[in-house]
Amino acid sequence: MIPPTDPTGAMELLIHYRYWLLIPLSFIEGPVVAFIAGALSHLGYFNPYLAFIIFFMKDIILDGIFYVIGRFSGQTSLIRRLLAKIGIREEHIHEARILWAKHGFRTMLLSKLSYGLSPGFLIAAGMVGMPVRIFFKYAVLVSLAQYGVLFMLGYYFGNAFGNVANVLENIQYAVGAVLLVTIAYYILTRYMGQKLVEEERKVKKEL
């Protein structure tokens, strides 16, 4: 996960360019942009169903890329070095294998919501040979929940303002709300990262 972008700038870009920037911005900071896109969908800037599908598909495609990297390139020196840079070394792979095998859904949830750890643990899922069907089953469930909540919060946030004129008249409150969601989500990802590390430590102690 990439650190949160400036929500004011993201909002202005989305209003001006709409779908031309929705997809690339979803890769840069998906969760925050999903909240903003939800609000703009209610205000008529996006088709809410199409916008949600864009975020969902982006997430699943990225998950699949990480899984494939781990499955077919996990033993290469390049991937090993990249994993080491984010704190996942050789000794952690065995612990990751146990976590994915015994607590697959919980590991997927913590991995996808963990700041900085998500790519490494998703790559590890491919390295340890987690079944593709189960991997994507968990990935789909977590992505639906994650982006569903963010998108709906944004949609009802847009409903609270009613129309574009109200947003422009109260832009300070709009930006404040986006910042609040950004900070709350950032805190959540940090917490999830700590929980994932704790799970890994528990497995290590049991070995």
Encode pLDDT of 125-137 as tens digits. Answer: 888 889 999 999 9
Q: What is the pLDDT of residues 34-58, one digit of tens each?
A: 888 888 888 787 888 888 898 899 8
Does some domain include residue 97? yes
Asked whether 186 and 115 are in contact (CB, 8 A), the reply is yes
Collect all residues with Cβ–Cβ distance below 8 Å to 106 and sequence separation of at least 6: 199
Quote the tokens at residue 116: 């900085």
Total tally of structural domains belonging to the chain: 1
pTM beyond 0.75: no
Lowest-pLDDT choice from 18-32, 129-143, 176-190:
176-190
Does 131 map to a domain? yes
2 within some domain: no
Looking at the domain assignment, is residue 145 inside a domain?
yes
